[in-house]
Amino acid sequence: MSKTMITGAAILLVLGILLFLKSSKKREENGEWSGALQWGYLLILVGAFGVLSYKMSFTAVLLIFVLLTGIAWIIHRSLKKKNPGHVDNNHFTDYMSGFFPIILVVFVLRTFLAEPFQIPSSSMRPGLITGDFILVNKFTYGIRLPILNNVLIPVNKVERGDVIVFNYPRDTRINYIKRVIGLPGDVITYKDKTLSINGKVISDIDEQKIYNYSEQLPQYGNINMQAQQVTEKLGNKSIQILKMPQQPPVILQAVHTDFPDRELCNYDADGSGFSCTVPAGKYFMMGDNRDNSEDSRYWGFVDDKLVVGKAFLIWLNMGDMKRIGTKIQ
């Protein structure tokens, strides 16, 4: 969440508290709570959600709200059950209990079934472009325990070539999307723009094409980029990737020296390549835009506990409606 958004959430929270303090806490003649009280609660909920999301994961914040509104719902229902026809004059339990079913449904859907994400960069071109809104299947790799993200009921295993969303290892509040290149035990080598897995070279299977796109860079504005588009056979998948001849296979200055299992990676001193052995329970990720992607070659491996789910569909792109409904390969 950006500083602008957290500031906006804090403002809403303060406004909500002020409305709550100044509002009437008694029912009006029509039996409803005052508009100021209802708006106060709504702004407090929205503001608190935004503020908490700055420090916690979206799932964790949803769980807190499920518990909070769930308690209000239980109290509200128990009063109704003991005294049929009873009117709950506690504005907190009466009003907050109404949010419980909605928040619970959102929590279940988002935690166990599917979750939407937006593509923020060009690291997965040509398949995924900036502005794509995608859906992630959270059930593909099994039902996971909320927050801890341990697999409770296994379904499928992560496969080489899958496009997955995961929590960025260096800041788990941030979500990344990359392609799985290496599974536990694999030896991944990238030398002179050629990928090898366990000693087997992953060759290009068609002729190179020129691929042009625009990249929005904060320090330079809109920049026109050109790359070579080729097809690789990765596992049972044929994937489109981009290569930029002017870029080195790895920018040594950008490699973090402190990521876990750093000793399992060796980098050529001239930046011409690297080799990494994937440890147990982790994966090696790379972007399809091979020379314009911040991925495992720079910050290390992705623990299975950080996996969010498998990307499977583009459901919206306001700049190119033709992309709607495109399956993610």
Burial of 50 by CB count in 10 Å (0-12 exposed, 13-18 middle, 19+ buried)?
buried
| 3-state per-residue secondary structure call for 205-252 | CCCCEEEEEEEEECCCEEEEEEEEEEEEEECCEEEEEEECCCCCCCCH
> Which residues, 6 or more positions from 211, have their beta carbon under 8 angstroms from its beta carbon?
125, 126, 226, 227, 228, 229, 242
Please pick, among 23, 121, 123, 293, the residue that the annotation labels catalytic.
123
| Residues forming a β-bridge with 177 | 165
Q: In whole angstroms, what is the distance from residue 296 CA to residue 120 CA?
A: 18
Question: Measured between alpha carbons, how far is residue 235 from residues 15, 23, 160, 253, 281 in Å?
Answer: 54, 63, 6, 31, 19
Q: In whole angstroms, what is the distance from residue 68 CA to residue 100 CA?
A: 8
- Decide if 200 is catalytic: no
- Decide if 178 is catalytic: yes
Q: How many residues appear in the chain? A: 329
Number of other CB atoms surrounding residue 328 within 10 Å: 18
Please pick, among 138, 178, 282, 310, the residue that the annotation labels catalytic.
178
Number of other CB atoms surrounding residue 325 within 10 Å: 10
Closest alpha carbon to 247 in 190, 290, 280:
290
Catalytically annotated residues: 123, 178
